[in-house]
Amino acid sequence: MKAMHERPRAGVGCAESGQDTAPGYSLLRGYNLYPAERTGGWCPAEFPNGTLFVISRQCLADVGLFDERYFAYGEEYDFGRRAIESQWEVGQIWGAVVKNPTRVVSSEVAWYLTLRNGLLASYQRDGLYAALLRSCVISLNGLARWLGHRPSATNPTLTVRIKALCAFWTGSFGPPPEST
């Protein structure tokens, strides 16, 4: 909290994961953790680490509540983007470490929500072409894994990818369907 109190426009602060990374965004990989230089205190970020973050009361009043379309997974991307657009700072606080040993998405439902909501967040951040590009990357990566018979517990199946893509492009948001 001290790092946030030292910054008048600090709206959202999050813990770090213990690695030299910070939450960020790239057009090809989307929302993820990217290499960051470890310094003392505050590290600017594009969104808070969803495992643990704090929002200032005034930031929440200015930005508004979470978007219900996200349901779960990815709401922090949207909130961080809206906070930055509202002139609030979003950052990670070096030294405030949160351990989350099960950080890897492990269920089909979690993968579905992560992919679908990541597309929504990319669309909201950079528009239609960003969502199209991310959709192509998701599809091609899934097809390559499927053709190469390389299933992985740390990557979604082609079926989950297709369901998430269809849900995004048809505007099916909120809770996942029971068939997922």
Q: Tell me the pLDDT tens digit for each residue of 38-85.
A: 887 899 999 998 888 999 999 999 999 999 999 988 899 999 999 999
Residue range 2-97 in CATH 3.30.200.20: no
- Rounded to two decimals, what is the model's pTM? 0.84
Rounded CA separation 46/128 (Å): 20
Q: Is 23 exposed, middle or buried (0-12, 13-18, 19+ CB in 10 A)?
A: buried
- The pLDDT of residue 168: 97
> In this predicted model, what pLDDT tens digit does every residue of 106-130 receive, in sequence order?
688 988 999 999 999 999 999 999 9
